[in-house]
Amino acid sequence: MARPGKIVCVGRNYREHAKELGNDVPTAPLLFLKPPSAVIAPGVPIVRPAVSQRVDFEGEVGIVIGATLCKATPEQCAAGIRGVVALNDVTARDLQKSDGQWSRAKGFDTFCPIGPEWVGVPPLDAITVVTRVNGEEKQRGSTADLVFPIPGLLSYISHIMTLEPGDVVATGTPAGVGPLQAGDIVEIELVGYSTVRNPVESQA
Ligand code: ZN
């Protein structure tokens, strides 16, 4: 798909994932941004930067915005969705912890693989996301389990920053995150909608 104008992400939006990293479940969506320059297409290698010892996959449901949403209601936001994409919120976990904020850990080049866009609005509370590394299942979640369901999440974001056509909202990752090594193949599947599969390399 075309490069998004911005990528808005939400942290700790599945209870079990918040727990596995020792974090509380937030009382309001915990937002951060990934730079559009991090986006890569299926098949393009994810490059592990030399400064990180721990690069994790995070399989996520990506929502593609189809309308201008400014201070919009959840209903307006649901109607303003253009499609969905499989998205890998690749994260340098050690740098995320040491930096105290997440721009570097989440923002390296190649850290945002995005799959082909499925155009339409699927049942927003019943999208299944599966992550496999070298064919082995590592994560399986459903948007039924989101702490902040998609329409309300989009509305919350739209009261902070205007969502514009082509923007992508990454809705958080379920439990089961883990590391990627050079030579791995990592695949995120939104079952029935979109898949993104990428090899992993170490920085030369
Ligand atoms: Zn994430």
CA of 70 from ligand 1 middle (Å) equals: 24
What's the burial of 80, exposed, middle or buried (CB within 10 Å: 0-12/13-18/19+)?
buried
CA of 173 from ligand 1 middle (Å) equals: 5
44 and 124 in contact (C-beta within 8 Å)?
no
Is there a domain that residue 2 lies in? Answer: no
Is there a domain that residue 27 lies in? Answer: yes
From CA 53, how far away is CA 55, in angstroms rounded? 7
The yes-or-no verdict on residue 105 having pLDDT over 90 is: yes
From CA 4, how far away is CA 107, in angstroms rounded? 14
* Residue 24: CB atoms within 10 Å: 8
Q: Which strand (E) or helix (H) includes residue 154?
A: helix 150-158
Closest CA to 62 of 78, 84, 39: 84
Is there a domain that residue 1 lies in? Answer: no
Domain count, the chain: 1
Is there a domain that residue 156 lies in? Answer: yes
Q: What is the CATH number of the domain that holds 181?
A: 3.90.850.10
CA of 30 from ligand 1 middle (Å) equals: 10
* Residue 152: CB atoms within 10 Å: 15
CA of 59 from ligand 1 middle (Å) equals: 7
CA of 110 from ligand 1 middle (Å) equals: 15
DSSP string, 166-177: T-EEE----S--
CA of 9 from ligand 1 middle (Å) equals: 6
Is there a domain that residue 93 lies in? Answer: yes
CA of 89 from ligand 1 middle (Å) equals: 5
171 and 149 in contact (C-beta within 8 Å)?
no
Q: What is the pLDDT of residue 1?
A: 78
The yes-or-no verdict on residue 17 having pLDDT over 90 is: no
List, for residues 140-169, the tens digit of each pLDDT value.
999 999 999 999 999 999 999 999 999 999
Is there a domain that residue 49 lies in? Answer: yes
Range of the domain at 180: 7-202
Rg (CA), the chain: 15
Is there a domain that residue 155 lies in? Answer: yes
Q: What is the pLDDT of residue 113?
A: 98
